[in-house]
Structure 1
């Protein structure tokens, strides 16, 4: 048997044994900004499927390390105290990511906030500039697209809430 044939057989058997995993690159480009009003500084607000319901006004906060749920959503999902230990948050498709939410009884224009643990569990990347979240799903890259108008509505609601709170606050008199 020739040396070339032995090398070819060795190479062929090595290729058969090796499992080459090809992953698509997740990135953002100017094309991802199409459909957004630029420039902007809006929050990344999406709709997620949580507990079998499409939940609007969910902010993706890549700077936070906890997922937050506000009381309206907690009550709307008919959750009980025992449900606070772990919670499934399904996305588009059949991807399910289990995260733990902290219920915060405070005003927020958002129904929930998902943060780094959710992004990491999903293997996702987010871009506030492009107002999108991308994550691997099988051999595809899926996208969660923002609702820029909802983000702006949340900002207005926050400003109005702050104005009302300030007008109701007791006025301190100078002595």
Structure 2
């Protein structure tokens, strides 16, 4: 029988903290050759940020920065233009991983902010309530389980269109494979080969509404200018959604929220 390790924080681990509190989690990390204190852990952010006091304290020079043009939104809702980006090694235990810090020239009570990418790389779980962090233990490999093997697949082109094809198991018995292919051909009209083929869902079936208070006066976000790379990605996505009929043009753009561009695991 295999047992999976469970990571948890106990009541005893609150000892030494002032309860109750809503303090941010501050930690000490070794960045480069220095032990850096007052780093804030922000699990809701996707960008590591470094402030000027730490940048100077690490004896880094302006020419060490790499270009970075995408603006950031500060905690007080103001737009901040970064000075650039720098890649530095962070050490946690025996492991060292290089992390990209976005350098901003603005005041902060913290020296830097570390966030989700760093937490995921080091398999770290945090608790601001306990003012602690812990690393997820890695389960030993299950040597008893048989090695999983993927079945070989072969392309089956439908209606002579090379871009419309199915993957069918190459090891299927001949009669079963022929029946499966014939079934797919008979129901070819139910597959969406392009975004434009997805006709959407009838509003009588399901419809989502924003849970907002109509008595509250809405507030506009300060506008932000995306980088050229982000602007190209936004333009391509908007064109695709307009072509599919998923969105339409509106004539009150001053109330639109800023577009957030997030890189997928595939790199797109």
Name the TM-score, length of structure 1 as normaliser: 0.61
Unaligned runs of at least 5 residues, structure 1? 1-19, 140-175
Partner of 2:45: 64
* Structure 2 stretches lacking a partner, 5+ long: 67-83, 140-268
Q: Which residue of structure 1 lines up, in the alignment, with residue 90 of structure 2?
A: 89
Residues of 1 paired with 2:47 and 2:138: CA distance? 27
Q: Superposition RMSD on alpha carbons, in Å?
A: 2.3
Q: CA deviation at 1:27?
A: 1.4
> Rg larger in 1 or in 2?
2
**Deviation per CA, 1:42-98, whole angstroms, max 9, x where unpaired?**
11011111111111111111111111001121122122225944221112x222232
Q: Distance in 2 between matches of 1:22 and 1:78?
A: 47
Aligned to 1:53: 34
Residue 100 and residue 22 in structure 1: after superposition, are their counterparts in 2 closer, same or farther (change >3 A)? farther
Kept in 2: contact 1:95–1:137 (CA 8 A) = no
**C-alpha deviation, 1:24, in angstroms:** 2.9
Structure 1 partner of 2:115 = 115
SS at match of 2:20: coil
Alpha-carbon offset, residue 109 of structure 1:
0.8
Deviation at 1:117, TM superposition (A): 0.8
Alignment partner of 1:32 is 2:13: yes
Secondary structure at the counterpart of residue 99 of structure 1: strand
In 2, Cα distance between the equivalents of 1:118 and 1:21? Answer: 29
Q: Give the Cα separation in 1 of the matches to 2:90 and 2:40.
A: 14
> Which residue matches 1:151?
none
Cα distance in 2, alignment partners of residues 75 and 94 from structure 1: 26
Identify which of structures 1 and 2 has the higher relative contact order when contacts are C-alpha pairs closer than 8 Å and 6+ apart.
1
Distance 2:56 2:22 in 1: 31
Q: Partners of 2:138 and 2:125 in 1: how far apart?
A: 16
Number of the residue aligned with 2:98: 98
Q: How many residues align?
A: 119
Asked if the contact 2:5/2:137 (under 8 Å) is kept, the reply is no
Partners in 2 of 1:35 and 1:88 — Cα distance?
30
Q: How does 1:134-153 map to 2 (within 5 A)?
A: 134-136=134-136
Q: TM-score, normalising length from structure 2?
A: 0.41
Residue 31 (structure 1) shift: 1.8
Q: CA offset at residue 23 of structure 1?
A: 5.3
